[in-house]
Amino acid sequence: MLVNKPPMGWNTWNTFGHEISDALVRESTDAFVEQGLKDAGYQYVVIDDCWSKKVRDPETDRLVAEPAKFPEGMKAVADYVHGKGLKFGMYSCAGQRTCGDYPGSFDHEFLDAETFASWGVDFLKYDFCYKPVGVDGQLLYRRMGMALRASGRDILFSACNWGSDDVWSWIRSTGAHMYRSTGDIFDNPESYRKIALSQLHKLGTSAPQCFNDVDMLTVGMYGKGLVGTTGCNDADYRSQFALWCMYSAPLMLGCDIRRMNAQTRALVTNRDLIRIDQDAEARPPIATFHPWNEKLMTLFKHLDDGSYALGFFNLGEEDAETFATFSDFGLPAAAGYDLALESVFDGERLVSREYLRLNVPAHDCRVYIARLQKR
């Protein structure tokens, strides 16, 4: 199977938008390895929109890389990425034009899939702009799913229709391996919180071979780049990354990985958080909220080795005390078990019976690996 676990990688869009080039991708590929992302499990280097010429080749009707940006063409870029032991991803769109107003793949699905395969593409992000009026969006994703299967190469199909048309109810049938269930993310606290809360009732539709994609991470952007707005602080980035991991969401970094600071690097390579995200069973978490403070959310997630992930999230503007009652997760007081907890951030260990009460700073989180302990 092509995608047993949520895909992990890096995408150009959040920081660079249309300002992409062969040199940027090669430098970022080098940084991908040097910064420890490859060793942490990240695989995909993905070029987003605005990579092609404004028109197709008039003789072959094929997409052509913009020579001012990619003078050696896309196969040379793919070969460079592959030479570092990584996988190469690209972008197209189900409409007549891409969101950046470049040629889309509408009515060219099989030709474009063949072209991508010939270049060595391993991942295709497939957007949803400029769809002709009256054309069924589901049908367009079916077409590209079939085209990729016919291309002769294993290509991860990342469907990006922004959560339109109840996508979670039908997208698996198209052959897609991950699907966007939300609008675009921006680098501010309100954006990632809104996205995270919007997906709580849809996480059960995410599973191996087709994962719910809650958009690319803004972790480490600090307000810079295309989707940089107010920016976030390190507490926000801890919460955002931990939420994505608790959701078993694809982890697609969007910051300038050439310039990650130590805090960002430590967070996105945190072994315990990645372990939670990459859990083989990819089960959705149980979510509970503080009875009189809806900004305090607790997530409890079953892991495949018999342990659990327990996360406390303060989505508010003030430090607050919160608690979890273990019976809400299926562990009643009479069960005869406590929970032995170890923090994924600092290794703090504690044992708690029936419930856990603790303080969580504003915007921040506390996440633990939990195991049952017989009394």
The verdict on whether 184 is a catalytic residue reads yes
Contact in structure between 267 and 219 (CB atoms under 8 Å): yes
User: How far apart (Å, rounded) are the C-alpha atoms in residues 137 and 144?
Assistant: 11
Distances (CA, A) of 343 to 98, 130, 253, 272, 338: 43, 46, 23, 9, 16
The verdict on whether 364 is a catalytic residue reads no
Residue at 241: amino acid letter: F
Q: What is Dmax (Cα atoms) for the chain? A: 75
Exposed e or buried b for every residue in 102-130, given b needs 16+ CB within 10 A? bbbbbebbbbbbbbbbebbbbbbbbbbbe
Residues near 355 by beta carbon (within 8 Å), at least 6 away in sequence:
323, 324, 325, 326
DSSP for 50-105 reads S-B-SS--TTT----B-TTT-TT-HHHHHHHHHHTT-EEEEEEESSSB-TTSSB--
Q: Which residues pair with 88 in a beta bridge?
A: 45
Residue at 154: amino acid letter: D
Contact in structure between 88 and 122 (CB atoms under 8 Å): yes
Give the tokens for residue 112. Answer: 């474009």
Nearest-10 Cα torsion for 117, 120, 123, 129: -60
User: How far apart (Å, rounded) are the C-alpha atoms in residues 117 and 123?
Assistant: 10
Nearest CA-CA partner of 86 in 49, 56, 44: 44
The active-site residue, picked from 30, 165, 184, 234, is 184
The active-site residue, picked from 22, 122, 127, 236, is 127
Contact in structure between 127 and 93 (CB atoms under 8 Å): yes
Catalytic residue numbers, as ranges: 127, 184
